[in-house]
Amino acid sequence: MIFEYHPDTDMLVIKLTEGMSSESAEIAPGVVLDFDEENRVIAIEIEDASKTVNLSALELRSLPLNQLLVTNGGQKVA
């Protein structure tokens, strides 16, 4: 799962899995789900994210993580 914030468009994209989007649906104002060819949700897009989401913190709870990778613009952060 990958969280990406794009400040130029103020869009938060949460990629749930790799894949190509074949269809999208706006499920609420400014919230779009991307689906793959098998109709599985592969990403969530939140428009105007800085107005609706606290982007200054991320809390992970009860996730069965094998690896936690923190990057900044594709570069690993120590």
Say what the pTM is: 0.83
Report how many domains make up the chain: 1
Instruction: Give me the pLDDT at residue 77, please.
Output: 64
pLDDT < 50 regions, the chain: none
CB atoms within 10 A of CB 12: 19
For residue 32, give its domain range.
2-76
Both structure tokens of 71: 């990057």
Instruction: Give me the pLDDT at residue 73, please.
Output: 67
Instruction: Give me the pLDDT at residue 65, please.
Output: 81
